[in-house]
Structure 1
Amino acid sequence: MSNRYFGNRAVVIGAGMGGLPAAQVLASYFKEVVVLERDILPTDATPRPGVPQGKHPHGLLAGGLKALSDLFPDFSSTLVQAGAYSLDSGREVCHEYPGQEPLPIRSLGVATFTMTRPLLELAVRRRVQENANVVFRDGCRVVALGATPDGNAVASAIYKTLSGELEVLPADLIVDASGRGKLTLDFLKYIGHPMPEETVIGVDFGYSTAVYTIPPDATPARKVMITMPRAPGESRTGIVLLREDGKWFAALGGRGADTPPADSAAFTAYAASLPTSSVYDAIKYATQHGGIERFAFPESRRLHFSTDNFPRGLIPIADSVCRFNPVYGQGMSAAAQEAVVLRDLLEAHAGDADPLAALSGEFLSAIDSIIENPWSLAALPDLAYPDARGKRPPNLEKLIEHHMAITKAAHHDPDIHKQLIEVLNLLKPVSALQAIEIVEKVTGEEVQNPTASA
């Protein structure tokens, strides 16, 4: 075995936006990388059954684009060639907050793309396929992970083929990007490892999506128009978003019993009830293509794995560690950032005698801050909803007031506007909005630096 390889084979479970970036990373460190995918992978940008929300709008945040560009050189050109539209987040994304004017059009240097989820996945998968040592096996449903005799490490992925045959694939490292973490949890239970604690925020969020051709005289002012709920604790929201085929997604969302309908007339009426009229104005005379897709999301779920003596060679990633409320469009970007963390750790251990010895625990520790950023961003508006289930911070009202004050201050202060957009795009942590200079600008009062010397 070449000294540059960590092992003969790595297995990635799941060929979605959690597994593909991980496969790209592992290709440089293992002789062979096998990607096992339950679905039959399409050859074009077609939604697939394993991504039930694939027919709905998805957002690649600027932080996600940066991470993918770190893993795939010149990735922006890949997206342009695939047909994605470039997107200036300061000039072409409009967040409409009821009771105030939309944020001014400013070039903030925060760029990404708008496209469908299947197109993004196809573009990434094709880049991964450029690695000669990466093998895709679709139509393979992984049913369990095999352990070494001492129970301290994973040894194999056990899967069923479409014909029902059970096969065992030995591996030195397994990345669980299967979506819900069940394979990892079942494995931990089997070997007697402590089960992770969970943090859950019950949101009971539902959304409906339709695709339209919008008449030229009703074309939205920007490529993405987002209508926020009327007030903290209310839930109706909507978005129109330009697709790569020139059509527009229109998606409506609501919580509990107030989820949007699947009937076209009722869908349009629901759009008319939103706090601002942008979605309704775009679709009221538009031509609808196909039916209305619905998706229900009961809860955000974060697993806190014990990193002490975590099984060697097992790497849960993306939704297998934390499943975010999809309304905020954070999942794909967070997964890409986690893959960058994995790459950096592999590089750091490249000279070790046993580079996999502590990798799993270090990875889970390192991605905690990656997860915390989007998690806290989503938790604030989610927990403001009265019927949401979950532990609320004692200062929730103050946090909400501060965030609302920031959105208002962003109208007249380009620096605050830039900071806000960078945080929402996962380029900076939420703590950036708590910086002393930001708080002073928002409140108009001087803040004492607690770290300053007496």
Structure 2
Amino acid sequence: MDKRFAEQRAIVIGAGIGGLAVAAALANHFGQVVVLERDELPAEVRPRPGAAQTRHLHVLLSGGAAALAELFPGVHTRLIEAGAQLADVGADANFELAGTPKLPRRELNIYSWQLSRPLLEAVLREQLRERENVQLRELSRVIEIVPDENNRAAGVRVESREGKHDELDALLVIDASGRGVPTLDFLKATGRPLPTETTVGTDLTYGTTVYSFPDGAEPDFKQAWVHGKAPEQGRAGFLVKRENGLWDAVLAGRLGDVPPIEDDAFLAFADTLPNQAISTALRRGRREAPIVRFGYPESRWRHFADLTDFPVGLLPLGDAVCNTNPVFGQGMTVAAKEAVMLHRLLAESGGHASSLETIGPAFLKEMEDLVKTPWSGATALDLAYPQTKGERPADMRQRSEYQAGVMKLAAVDPDVHRLMVEVRHLVKPANLLHTPDLQQRVQAVLQHPAASS
């Protein structure tokens, strides 16, 4: 007899943003959801060692905030109460991509949620712990995904910090581990091929610290995003207000251009950005934490949807599938939207366990479609640097010119500005930037620059 999800257990590997979001989705359908995390899950707000970028700047885009609200009712109120900052990405943003027109400060009513990753994780964990059918198991390292007699995923083998081994059965295993090693190991162990991968080098290094500002000295924006013109300059800077009156300050360089960690040198690096907004602000503030570096060598996209024999009962999610240049801040939003997609597919199945045979391929295909927009946007900037490793689209020059034309229109047309931001925040599909009418206007701008004024 075909059992129903409500009689079954689902397991989530990893308690990062993707793992927490998908656990909330699964809790609406399965009788029990167990989240396995190798780190300690602290009651207080503090970084976890297993989350490599946890001390660095994190921003939840509008599309991600909407997705989390579907999975965690009331989460927006809880985030605001916890200190998260809302920023209108038009009126509250100082945005400059050198070589393109500076975008004016105008209200767009599209918001970034600005907060530290530890705070966001703590709020989501708190809500999950209120659900009786969700169990968060910390200090639990997944050794392997266990197959059944048909080489489907049937559960996991777990090791505690004390070295004790345990085996948990499950109808569905979600790999939200970040690196995707459990899924790749399972494919190899069951004699299946690995997915093809698309990679684009970034060779990016960024340094993050935290600043505070005395009364009356805070910047007149809530976020600044300044990037040099490619390929002449690869430096970028970010300054974003978040909880507790603190600001995340990030300076980034490419191709061996490493931001310094000494105060004077850090400020001198900021002075080289094409816009002095960040540099000027930092000199009015006070550094409250050490400068921490993080290296990001390449973006990777694993095409699991192309595998014809992907195992039933296993689904990868988030960075296990695709990770892109983190300076675009889209990773948490993509993972949250993937969790909503799975929630919808499970709801449409009628609750029948046998439907996983069709849900799996559908989910992998929808993920492939979802990540096309963030992948295209992030890698377009990365590939503008000749030294960057990666296959360049045959029409790369035309794409770059078109994007420049859209930016010119956005500088003078609030509707285009809003649409461009909605696409970047994964609120609207990217094809809306390529309607016949907009293409005609962009071409007019490119051929006759005065047409944009």
In structure 1, distance between residues paired with 2:230 and 2:178: 32
State whether residues 200 and 299 of structure 1, in contact with CA within 8 Å, keep that contact through their aligned partners in structure 2.
Answer: yes
The residue that corresponds to 1:97 in the other structure is 97
Task: Find the residue that maps to 1:275 and give its secondary structure.
Answer: coil
The code of the aligned residue for 1:359 comes to I
Match status 1:381 vs 2:381: yes
The residue that corresponds to 1:450 in the other structure is none
State whether residues 197 and 304 of structure 1, in contact with CA within 8 Å, keep that contact through their aligned partners in structure 2.
Answer: yes
In structure 2, distance between residues paired with 1:271 and 1:388: 23
The residue that corresponds to 2:49 in the other structure is 49
What TM-score results when the alignment is normalised by the length of structure 2?
Answer: 0.94
State whether residues 5 and 352 of structure 2, in contact with CA within 8 Å, keep that contact through their aligned partners in structure 1.
Answer: no
* Structural mapping, 1:296-375, within 5 Å: 296-305=295-304, 306-350=306-350, 352=352, 354-375=354-375
- What's the CA shift for 1:257? 1.1
The code of the aligned residue for 1:373 comes to T
Task: Find the residue that maps to 2:383 and give its secondary structure.
Answer: helix
Task: Find the residue that maps to 2:125 and give its secondary structure.
Answer: helix
Change over 3 Å in CA distance of 1:145–1:276 after alignment to 2: same
| Structure 2: gaps spanning 5 or more residues | 448-453
* Structural mapping, 1:199-214, within 5 Å: 199-214=198-213
- What's the CA shift for 1:232? 4.1
Encode CA deviations 1:247-276: one digit per residue, 9 max, x unaligned: 111100111111211222211110111111
In structure 1, distance between residues paired with 2:177 and 2:112: 26
Encode CA deviations 1:200-235: one digit per residue, 9 max, x unaligned: 001111100111112445422210011022334531
The residue that corresponds to 1:144 in the other structure is 144
Change over 3 Å in CA distance of 1:190–1:4 after alignment to 2: closer
* Structural mapping, 1:144-293, within 5 Å: 144-151=144-151, 153-232=152-231, 234-293=233-292
In structure 2, distance between residues paired with 1:430 and 1:110: 16
Encode CA deviations 1:336-356: one digit per residue, 9 max, x unaligned: 010011011101112547222
The residue that corresponds to 1:60 in the other structure is 60
Encode CA deviations 1:402-427: one digit per residue, 9 max, x unaligned: 11221121111111111111111111
Encode CA deviations 1:305-350: one digit per residue, 9 max, x unaligned: 1342321110100011111111110100000010011011101112
- What's the CA shift for 1:399? 1.1
- What's the CA shift for 1:161? 0.5
Bigger mean CA deviation after superposition, 52-61 or 433-442: 433-442
The residue that corresponds to 2:425 in the other structure is 425
Query: Sequence identity of aligned pairs in percent?
Result: 41
- What's the CA shift for 1:429? 2.4
The residue that corresponds to 2:8 in the other structure is 8
Bigger mean CA deviation after superposition, 255-264 or 353-362: 353-362
The code of the aligned residue for 1:255 comes to R
State whether residues 230 and 385 of structure 2, in contact with CA within 8 Å, keep that contact through their aligned partners in structure 1.
Answer: no
Change over 3 Å in CA distance of 1:392–1:155 after alignment to 2: same
- What's the CA shift for 1:24? 0.4
The code of the aligned residue for 1:225 comes to A
Q: CA RMSD in A?
A: 2.0
In structure 1, distance between residues paired with 2:131 and 2:29: 12
Task: Find the residue that maps to 2:179 and give its secondary structure.
Answer: coil
- What's the CA shift for 1:7? 4.3
State whether residues 233 and 386 of structure 1, in contact with CA within 8 Å, keep that contact through their aligned partners in structure 2.
Answer: no
| Structure 1: gaps spanning 5 or more residues | 448-454
- What's the CA shift for 1:444? 2.4
In structure 2, distance between residues paired with 1:405 and 1:379: 18
Encode CA deviations 1:374-408: one digit per residue, 9 max, x unaligned: 11111110111111111001111221121122112
- What's the CA shift for 1:60? 0.4
Q: How many residues align?
A: 446
In structure 1, distance between residues paired with 2:213 and 2:432: 38
- What's the CA shift for 1:107? 1.9
Task: Find the residue that maps to 1:222 and give its secondary structure.
Answer: coil
In structure 2, distance between residues paired with 1:347 and 1:406: 38
Change over 3 Å in CA distance of 1:169–1:376 after alignment to 2: same
The residue that corresponds to 2:79 in the other structure is 79
State whether residues 307 and 361 of structure 1, in contact with CA within 8 Å, keep that contact through their aligned partners in structure 2.
Answer: no
In structure 1, distance between residues paired with 2:6 and 2:357: 11
- What's the CA shift for 1:443? 2.6
